[in-house]
Amino acid sequence: MAGKLGVLLLALVLSLAQPASAHRKLLVFLLDGFRADYISDEALESLPGFKEIVSKGVKVDYLTPDFPTLSYPNYYSLMTGFVWLQETHSRQEGLARVAAELEGVLKAFDSELSKPSFRRFPTRSQAVSTPGRHCEVHQMTGNYMWDPNTNKSFDLGINRDSRLPLWWNGSEPLWVTLTKAQRKVYMYYWPGCEVEILGVRPTYCLEYKSVPTDINFVNAVSGALDVFNLKNAEVSRALLNSRSGQADLAAIYYERVDVEGHHYGPSSAQRKDAVKAVDTVMAYMTKWIQERELQDDLNVIIFSDHGMTDISWIDKVIELDNYISLRDLQQLKGRGPVVSLWPAPGKHSEIYNKVRRVEHMTVYKKEDIPSRFYYKKGKFVSPLTLEADEGWFITENRESLPFWMNSTVTRKPEGWHWGWHGYDNELRAMRGIFLAFGPEELDLNFSCQMLKKEMSERLGTAVLDLLLTSTCTRDRTRPPRDAAG
């Protein structure tokens, strides 16, 4: 996690912890499957909405998602990361002691800061890792999971068991923390907002039931801005049939960019049209913020969960039943870049030895998963994890390939997906976006003094990560290391 982005998030979340009469509001967008280069400097020339946002605030070069680069793990990594900062920095007691302790930590890691391998960021545009808890901590380790102890499955929200606290209670997301603090939270199509997490639900949740349309997205943005506006809060309250008033946090999820990237590929005209549709809404949003006189009171954060890469259904498919008997598995979860296997009792070594010889994928025993993935300690991680090379797709057999356009009887080539994600999180194609703007001083050149002042009692791994990648006491002349190359 980059230090200065961490402080940026700290500043925005701290604003929510102030007395109700003083704190500013926060609007969060999660744009699924929005790859970093979709808003490259060149691309921005034809995206006036995003270009205006960048001119007003902060844009990082890319965000490195958590592994696996799938949706649910990164939904939770992002939002539990905000919570961690909220928990860590919102308390007011013990600041003097912690500031002194932090001074010692900074000195202790001074040598680390000067190592050549350490990333430095020379401009406001930076490369950052997902600013949240890793999935092995919050336990949301996949879109498809299985718990051997209860024989329950999490299947991308399509089964009732996916709403069990079992999957969600590993960490506390931002909306739960704020709701517990008597803040008003409105969520639109956000996956998981319908779930009771740690005994709490948000003030309002417009549940995700199918891919939100562009009209749904426009209405969500307009509705969110209305509930931020004290003048419109009563009207919005009546429309939403909610007992709450003015919102403190609103969170909006939009999926079309991901859907078109899957269906037609990340370079397709359809995907580009989806980005232009988002851009149009972003342009309207900045206009609506002015019209509702929210420009001095509202901070906006826009991020994505992962990127997208090209895949080929013709020649880059790994069919597992060509190598093993699926009857020798107790459970199989997932398909594509990451597949989880639970071998039947007595079959672990046999299965491992067979699949480890398969080309274009890597097989990990749980204990051998690279530490850089921050994945292997997850309690739902399987004994064997299969990771495909970029562009390759693992499935049971070709009959199990995910066609989206046609029925199983009339399948045609154009019905196959041409884009996918979930691969190694250091690949360029998996990179996401992070932008922010608002009345806060959204410059990444925050000082260490601010960090020391606001640090509270809990020092942990996330804080150490923040310190190890802080550049505020160092020169900023060295370019960032390219994680992909």
Sign of the alpha-carbon torsion through 259, 260, 261, 265: positive
71 in active site: yes
Kindly report the number of other CB atoms within 10 A of residue 444's CB atom: 22
Catalytic annotation, pick one of 71, 244, 382, 470: 71
Name the packing angle between helices 461-468 and 71-89 (round to 10°). 90
Element at 343 (helix H, strand E): strand 338-343
Task: Give the rounded distance of the alpha carbon of 19 from its chain centre.
Answer: 29
What is the Cα Rg of the chain in Å?
Answer: 22
- 134 C-beta neighbours (distance < 10 Å), count: 26
d(CA 170, CA 476): 37
Task: Give CA 123 to chain center in angstroms.
Answer: 23
- Tell me what percent of the chain is helix, strand and coil, each rounded to the nearest 5: 40, 15, 45
Among 454, 30, 64, which Cα is nearest to 252's? 30
Q: What is the separation, in whole angstroms, between the first and last Cα of the chain?
A: 19
Check: CB of residue 344 under 8 Å from CB of residue 403: no
CB environment 98-132: b (16+ within 10 A), e (fewer) = bbeebeebbeeeeeebeeeeebbbeeeebbbbbbb
Residue 115: CB partners within 8 Å, gap ≥ 6? Answer: none
Give me 272's structure tokens.
């580009």
Q: Which residues are catalytic?
A: 71
